[in-house]
Each structure stands twice: as structure tokens, then as C-alpha cells.
A and B are shown apart, each in its own frame.
Chain A
């Protein structure tokens, strides 16, 4: 379980737009839910799908958090021309899929399992998100060139 923590935190930072406190809290909350599920179902915690389960819980938790709170931690300030800034500037749905398919290297089927959608739908969102990312990175490059 602990081995997955750096990846969970990396994905949490994508979700929280780089806000570190929220990312840490999100990872801790996801672990808490996973442990409860394992305890309840008497399931093994070293299954190959652990990352899918963990990312899935994190997405659900973050969506709940976004819909239920008005005191969000502000996003981290990134150097404007960095790839990180380009990713964090994307809409939440696109950011999540970029986080899963580009950064965590999950395939469309795994991403669909995390998000509770079909693999085909995940691939469509991915394609759209990649175009958006391309645009954001190009804008960064232009800004860098102008500077």
C-alpha cells in the first residue's frame, strides 16, 4: 500500500491543481476508504488493481469535495510556461484523464474503470484532452517566445 503513495500523491496534485495540503489530505482520505473496504470485504490489499481502486476513490472524493465545499485551497502557482502549468490549466475532466492516461500511463480500459465509464468514452475524452493540452502547451511556448 505504501509503495503506491507517491503515485497517489502525484495524481492528487493533478486533481487539486497542485495544492499540496489538499493533495495530502486527499491521499490520506483515499487510504482510509481503501482500508475500510479491505476490512469490510476481507479483501487482499496487494492486488494488481490497487492503483485503479485508489485512483477511483480519489476521483470520487475530489468530486464530492468540489461540490460540497466553498473553501478550496487555492491552486499552486506554477511557472507560466511549464508543462505542469499547462496541465493544471485544463478543465477538471480533461485534467483527470491526462493524469490517468498520460502521467500514470493507464490505458483506456483502466481509465474507464477508474471513472466508471466505457473504455471508448475514456478514449474520446483523452483525445479531446490531448488537443486541449496541445493548445495550452503551444500557448506557453508562444508566451515563452514573446518573453
Chain B
């Protein structure tokens, strides 16, 4: 009768989960090579773990309840320290103000500046130039807005509950800004606009500011559009 090595169950589980120290890992591997029954047991433990580990993954993409969003921002705590989230949101709001002041509103100093963002009582909407850009540009394609303001689309994605949104960047270096705009009837509603880190040079392609990523994470349905899907929806005029 073959000598079946004894390996405690908790060690087998730790091995299957990848939590054993290397020396013990080697011991278990040696035992497994001598015993098909043990190897079969480990395979079953792995299978159980994989099934269980993925069981709740669907919950990760579900929208968060308003009470969670409120609490995560520190709204319920007495005199909380300002969180990174709130600082980011404040920066984003300031950035919108700066953006509107510097780029959107035409002034005598920059007569060619377009109305990129128009603030309304219903929220902020893309002006004609930005609307045209959001309507027609493909991801990665760079266009010029107004007097040589570079702009490009980062990605396009479907949102939960229907509709499409686009992440875009406008500006250069220290005035580089990221935004998310969502199609609403024939307009583009600006959901968030944030300036890239002013300490860095902020070349295009650096990670988007935190509020942008948080916003996209909370809205996106599935994966961003592939190039083909994006071209199709542009051709269909976002219908």
C-alpha cells in the first residue's frame, strides 16, 4: 500500500489559497506529487475558493446607496477632518470656476476664447465648441478648440440606467483639466471637471484627478466602449 503523506487540512487550505510560507509550500508540493488523492483534494479546495470568491463580485458594480455616499464623505460625523474626497470635490468646484472664468467667458484679453462650458440653473452644459468636439471626436483623437486649446477624448462609456458619457481632457500642462460629460437630449451635461495636479507638469496622459475616477467608477456600466462601438454611436449621432 502506498504511503499516503499526512498534511493537515488547514495547511492544504493555506497552500491552495497561496498563503503558505515558501518552505512549507515546498513540503506540501512534495506531498502532493506523491499522492494523487491529496492533489485531488487541493484541486477541490481551489475550486470551492474560486466559486466562493466570485459569488459576490456582482455587488461591486452595483450603485452605492445615497446614505453610503453621504457617510463616506464624512457628512454624518461631527466636525470631521476634511477628507481627500471633499478636498478633491472642493478643488473640482474651484476648477469649474477657474475654467469658466478663464476659458468659457469671452474677455477682451482673449477674444477668441470659446464658451466651452455654460452654467445654467439646471447644471453645467458644454458650449457649442465643446459640444461639437464631444459629438464627433473619437477616443485618442486630438482636436483644437477655440484659439488652439488642445482637447482629446479619453474614453466613452455606457452608464447605468442608459445613456453614454465621455471622459475628456482640455488644455495644456498646468491648465490641463479632465472632465466627464454625459449626453442629455441634444446637449452634453458636464458632470465633473477637475484640474490635474498643479504641482506636476501634468502632461496629457497622466492619471486623471481623483473626482474624475470616482465619478466614472460610480457611473460606468460594464467596460468602456471599444473603438467600433464608439464609431457606431458617433455615426448614430448619440441616439
Contact = CB atoms under 8 A, between A and B. Distances in A.
A127 B13 contact: yes
B175 to A, nearest CB: 27
A9 B59 contact: yes
A123 B77 CA distance: 35
Interface residues of A, number: 46
B94 interface: no
A142 B62 CA distance: 31
Contacts of A61: none
A126 B17 CA distance: 11
A27 B53 CA distance: 20
B9 A127 contact: yes
Secondary structure dominating the interface of A: helix
A131 interface: yes
Residue among A39, A124, A130, A131 with the most chain B CB within 10 A? A130
B56 A13 contact: yes
A13 B57 CA distance: 11
A26 to B, nearest CB: 10
B56 to A, nearest CB: 5
Contacts of A87: 52, 55-56
A35 B68 CA distance: 13
A102 B53 CA distance: 5
Interface string A1-44: 11101111110011000000000110111011001101100100
B77 A102 contact: no
A98 B14 CA distance: 13
Contacts of B69: 2, 5
A105 to B, nearest CB: 7
Secondary structure dominating the interface of B: helix
B76 interface: yes
Contacts of A25: 67
Interface residues of B, number: 41
B59 A6 contact: yes
Given A31-B71, A126-B10, A137-B51, A42 B56 contact: no
A7 B59 CA distance: 9
A47 to B, nearest CB: 12
A114 interface: no
A117 interface: no
Contacts of B83: 1, 35, 45
Interface in A35-76: 35-36, 38-39, 42, 45-46
B214 A2 contact: yes
A130 to B, nearest CB: 5
A101 interface: yes
B71 A103 contact: no
Given A28-B67, A131-B9, 20 more contacts: A2-B214, A3-B214, A24-B67, A28-B65, A31-B68, A35-B74, A36-B77, A36-B80, A39-B77, A39-B79, A42-B81, A45-B84, A46-B84, A82-B55, A83-B52, A102-B52, A102-B53, A123-B14, A124-B10, A126-B13
18 contacts: A2-B69, A8-B68, A9-B64, A10-B60, A13-B59, A28-B67, A28-B76, A32-B77, A35-B71, A38-B80, A39-B80, A42-B81, A87-B55, A87-B56, A102-B52, A108-B14, A123-B10, A126-B10
In the A-B complex, list the 4 residue pairs whose CB atoms are closest, starting with the nearest: A35-B77, A127-B10, A31-B71, A28-B71
